Amino acid sequence: MRERFIALLRSPWFIALVALLLRVALLLYKASVIPAEILATVPFQNEVGNVASALASGQGFCCLFRQPTGPTAWLAPVYPLLVAGVFKLLGTFTLRSFYAVVMLNCVFSALVCIPLFHAGERIASRSTAALATWLWAFFPTGIILPYAWIWDSSLSALLAAALLWATLRLADSSRPLHFALYGFLWGISLLTNPSLGALLPFLLAWVFFRHCEANPQKLRLLLVAAAALLVTCLPWTIRNYLQFHRFVPLRSNFAYEFWSGNNEIFDEHSRQVNRITRYEQTHLYARLGENAFLDDKLQKAKSFVSAHPSLYAQLCARRIVATWLGTESPWQDFLHADSLLTRSLLLWNAITLLGMIVGLVRLYLRQRSYFFPVAVFPLFFPIAFYLAHTSLRHRHPCDPVLALLLSVAIAGTAVRKTPE
């Protein structure tokens, strides 16, 4: 009986079930205190909900701000298409659709447990893998974000964990089918969250150099993966070129994100009106069109950075802090918080950051062969957000790897030391 109980605690499927129940419990609690009419509409009042509504009504991938502003490439297509499918089945902006989409997010988040467990088992031990998976089950952002954001955050976390696991497995494979499936997984990941592309060159390079001497066919196999990725993404890229007459491989909105984090509102000496309203930006977008609107934002952001290099460096430093601690001034916010939950989240972010650093050090010392593909997630994935703007939602695809590193930090002696 004791062995069965321990085996159950180490089962990734059992842990995934617990993770799902925790996420659904938050959903049910929030639904019990928020009026149904609000749940049916407010969570969808964002770009994903607007585009999904247009898709469900047969207008196509368009109407970014719920206005007839024409086609858009502001978002990658996978998640809006999923939400549009729910709208077609259960109605646009209905309570049933809200529950269905959030349940999908909860399932995506819970399923992270499976690739995370197998990646942890490959890197360290079954016990360390189980601990990482349990940490993910109770990870605050993993519980909160499926409900809080009708966005691709939970699906992106699942895909990021799957990419890590697939990369670790692929390093020892010589089957073209495995490389083709790996390329397809990358294609779906990029069409869901293009920010994951920051990891692509590093993980492919690790796969290549892992056994390049032992397997001279590795380059040919990587070309198979690249071809599968290209075939997966090419239709969307062609669509974007036909619509916008410019090369937009995945999505177009970086210029706006870059401007939104770097503009005159951050300059306390500016004589301009330091105010940005959604109405103002929506009206400007509708008047200029997507291409001209984004060109204008990119030019303004570049001008701001050129005119304020010191301030831009400060903003980047503040965004680095916010990425890992949840706020630009974590100590002050902790002291002045009037909520135990807020203080707990700030404390958890600090513990996670410390655990990430300790976990990386221990992984480097005891399992150096797997250090690089794990380290690239926290080291390289957030860079674009440091440059533009950030939040815990943007960092979320890294969070499963943070749970793994926290597990390594706690159970460091369980990481098998292997020769370099």
Partner residues linked to 62 by β-bridges: 71
Query: pLDDT at residue 177 above 80?
Result: yes
Compute the distance between CA of residue 159 and CA of residue 420 in angstroms, rounded to an integer. 29
Hey, what's the torsion of the CAs at 303, 255, 185, 404, to 10 degrees?
A: 60
pLDDT band at 3 (very low <50, low <70, confident <90, very high): confident
What ranges in 2-139 are assigned the alpha helix state H? 2-9, 12-33, 36-41, 47-56, 78-90, 95-111, 113-123, 126-137
pTM attached to this predicted model: 0.94
The fraction of the chain above a pLDDT of 90, given in percent, is 80
pLDDT in tens, 358-370: 999 999 998 888 9
Q: Is 393 helix (H, G, I), strand (E, B) or coil?
A: helix
Partner residues linked to 71 by β-bridges: 62
Query: pLDDT at residue 420 above 50?
Result: no
- Please check whether residue 325 is in contact with residue 349, taking contact to mean a CB–CB distance below 8 angstroms: yes
pLDDT in tens, 258-286: 999 999 888 877 766 556 777 888 899 99
Q: Taken in order 161, 165, 166, 171, is the CA torsion positive or negative?
A: positive
- Per-residue pLDDT averaged across 309-322, rounded? 96
Instruction: Tell me the C-alpha to C-alpha distance, in Å, between residue 365 and each of 120, 131, 211.
Output: 16, 20, 21
What do you get for the CA distance between the two ends of the chain, in Å?
40
DSSP states along 191-254? HH-GGGGGGHHHHHHHHHHHSTTT-TTHHHHHHHHHHHHHHHHHHHHHHHHHHHSS--SS--TH
C-alpha 141 chain-centroid distance: 11
The fraction of the chain above a pLDDT of 70, given in percent, is 95
pLDDT in tens, 118-157: 999 999 889 999 999 999 999 999 999 999 999 999 999 9
pLDDT in tens, 178-202: 999 999 999 999 999 999 999 999 9
Residue 106 half-sphere exposure toward CB, CA atoms < 13 A: 19
Compute the distance between CA of residue 110 and CA of residue 102 in angstroms, rounded to an integer. 12
Compute the distance between CA of residue 418 and CA of residue 420 in angstroms, rounded to an integer. 6
Query: pLDDT at residue 98 above 50?
Result: yes
